[in-house]
Chains A and B, each alone.
Chain A
């Protein structure tokens, strides 16, 4: 559910941006030819940096954040290679697990089951 919402959010943001880029009218219609706008000196250095560096970087960071944040918030994900430091938890175990384990011996019972490793 959360995953689907996140995918939708990323799609909506990127679609919006792309649609915005494509919606500029043809420059012919405004009475001047493509290229430098009349009566201006073209892009200034600051404008150029803003347009070609700051805007793309902001977009990149926004999209990256949308993708990475949920995983970072979730946090304590198990990674097989990182080992495990928590003390054992016994769900539905005996009332006093430590004492029960202390005195237990497997005995003669024939037990079944299965093993696996990963």
Chain B
């Protein structure tokens, strides 16, 4: 297992956002997480990459406990993260955005620039490399955010609503990127409301409701699960 979450609980005052959540992720797996609004999906990602510290439970990545570590320390372990609203550097150029994760790298500037250009070519953003981040569309900003993570060769990528509000052509591009990276050995945790995309990409899906895991299985199994139908459609 590349990542193990055991009994993770996260409270905000009296609200229990995650309630004794446990799951595991195998190396090179694409794990989908779904659930109604407020079910704890993003909070789970925030705990995995150190933005939040769980109140109870443990998280281990490659056998090492990471709860309590700070986000930048977790990213150094090889866990990348994107957000529903992309967190890019809007006043920096696209190429500068890509170079941000490797500012302290020992590689030469030329090697890093070449790597950044190659990544931008892969995601069709190379012609815009000197444009400012804010000049990209929302979908392009999401792709840029993902490309930026790739600069530090992540082992695992946490994607939060990557397909929300983007053009179908870009969504297809996103699918291709995820599958290509998966082929290269990258593990994914994919939080999305876009169920067709999730069924297409994920090998396994877990379903959260009120911070608890209510179901786990393949796309087909999840679609037939009564607890899931109840959670989405109401009792």
B partners with A: no
